[in-house]
């Protein structure tokens, strides 16, 4: 997994601040509707590698079915949980059954703070936590990074296809000026939805031990508009009270 150094690979400074980019990403998820997404999540650690694929369905604001990756302890045991809201109630499908069925307004937070400490292993939850909720994980993350020794920059990259131009934005945070401990968020200036989330962290070893390979994680998604009729409404049904 490669994270480009600031100012390379077409990335250049932008007038938008990291906090503004994060806020736009959070807001886009909060009001998201008539959208389908597919993601791939991969985490690589000294213990092993875990990979997950999933669907993200949002027919209307506050109504969703989200498959999110979950790591019980070892990345090699990576599995998925499914979060469902019918617009009124919320529930989670895990371990073969329904859990936490309750009014949507009482949905537990998907991400606890500090967000930065969960970036690698809960990236898939962080990416979608803001959908139909008041959680603002990207803004929380940016606020945490500076006071904890990270240097944060915001950049943009313009890609030309035919006669059209698309502007992408990213937040890059590095510790001690090194990509060995880094966080990257990439979005597009049309939808402001998360496209690529990356992270890399060195693993501490005892004196005299051989250096361990770093922990790296990647979450990447493709989003597309979808009409209400394209959704199977049965997928949003929760158990009857």
Domain range spanning residue 166?
A: 12-231
Regarding pTM above 0.75, the answer is yes
Which segments in the chain show pLDDT lower than 50? Answer: none
Whether residue 6 lies inside any domain: the answer is: no
Whether residue 187 lies inside any domain: the answer is: yes
Report the distance separating Cα 58 and Cα 64, nearest Å.
4
Q: Which 3 state secondary structure label does DSSP give 12?
A: strand
* Number of domains present in the structure of the chain: 1
List, for residues 30-89, the tens digit of each pLDDT value: 999 999 999 999 999 888 899 999 999 999 999 999 999 988 777 778 889 999 999 999
Nearest CA-CA partner of 185 in 137, 146, 233:
137
Whether residue 236 lies inside any domain: the answer is: no
Report the distance separating Cα 70 and Cα 126, nearest Å.
11
CB 236 within 8 A of CB 86: yes
The pLDDT value recorded for residue 212 is: 63
Using only C-alpha atoms, the chain has a radius of gyration, in whole angstroms, of: 18
The pLDDT value recorded for residue 72 is: 73
The pLDDT value recorded for residue 202 is: 81
Reported in sequence order, the residue ranges of the chain that DSSP labels E, i.e. its strands, are 12-13, 35-45, 48-60, 63-70, 79-86, 89-94, 97-103, 150-161, 164-175, 178-188, 194-201, 215-225
The pLDDT value recorded for residue 204 is: 66
The pLDDT value recorded for residue 210 is: 57
Omega within 30 of 0 (cis) for the link into 114? yes
- Positive or negative torsion for Cα 233, 234, 239, 241: positive
Look up the CATH number of the domain holding residue 110: 2.50.20
The pLDDT value recorded for residue 2 is: 85
The pLDDT value recorded for residue 96 is: 82
Whether residue 7 lies inside any domain: the answer is: no
Whether residue 241 lies inside any domain: the answer is: no
Whether residue 113 lies inside any domain: the answer is: yes
Provide the token pair at 139. Answer: 């803004």
The pLDDT value recorded for residue 205 is: 56
Whether residue 148 lies inside any domain: the answer is: yes
Report the distance separating Cα 198 and Cα 170, nearest Å.
11
Whether residue 237 lies inside any domain: the answer is: no
């Amino acid at each position: 997994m490669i994270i480009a150094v600031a100012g390379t690979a077409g990335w250049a400074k932008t007038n938008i601040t990291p906090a503004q980019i994060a806020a736009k990403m959070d807001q886009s998820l909060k009001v998201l509707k008539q959208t389908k997404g597919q993601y791939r999540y991969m985490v690589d650690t000294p213990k092993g590698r875990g990979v997950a694929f999933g669907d993200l369905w949002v027919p209307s604001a506050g109504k969703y079915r989200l498959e999110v990756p979950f790591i019980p302890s070892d990345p090699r045991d990576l599995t998925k949980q499914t979060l469902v809201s019918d617009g009124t109630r919320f529930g989670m499908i895990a371990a073969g059954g329904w859990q936490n069925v309750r009014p949507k307004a009482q949905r537990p937070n998907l991400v606890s703070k500090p967000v930065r400490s969960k970036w690698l292993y809960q990236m898939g939850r962080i990416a979608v936590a803001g959908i139909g909720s008041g959680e603002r994980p990207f803004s929380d993350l940016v606020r945490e990074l500076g006071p904890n020794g990270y240097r944060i920059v915001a950049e943009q990259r313009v890609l030309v296809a035919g006669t059209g131009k698309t502007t992408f934005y990213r937040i890059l945070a590095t510790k001690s000026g090194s990509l060995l401990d880094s966080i990257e968020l990439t979005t597009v200036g049309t939808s402001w939805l998360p496209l690529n989330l990356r992270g890399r962290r060195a693993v501490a070893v005892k004196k005299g031990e051989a250096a361990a390979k770093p922990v790296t994680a990647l979450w990447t998604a493709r989003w597309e508009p979808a009409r209400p009729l394209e959704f199977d409404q049965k997928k949003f049904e929760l158990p009857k009270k």
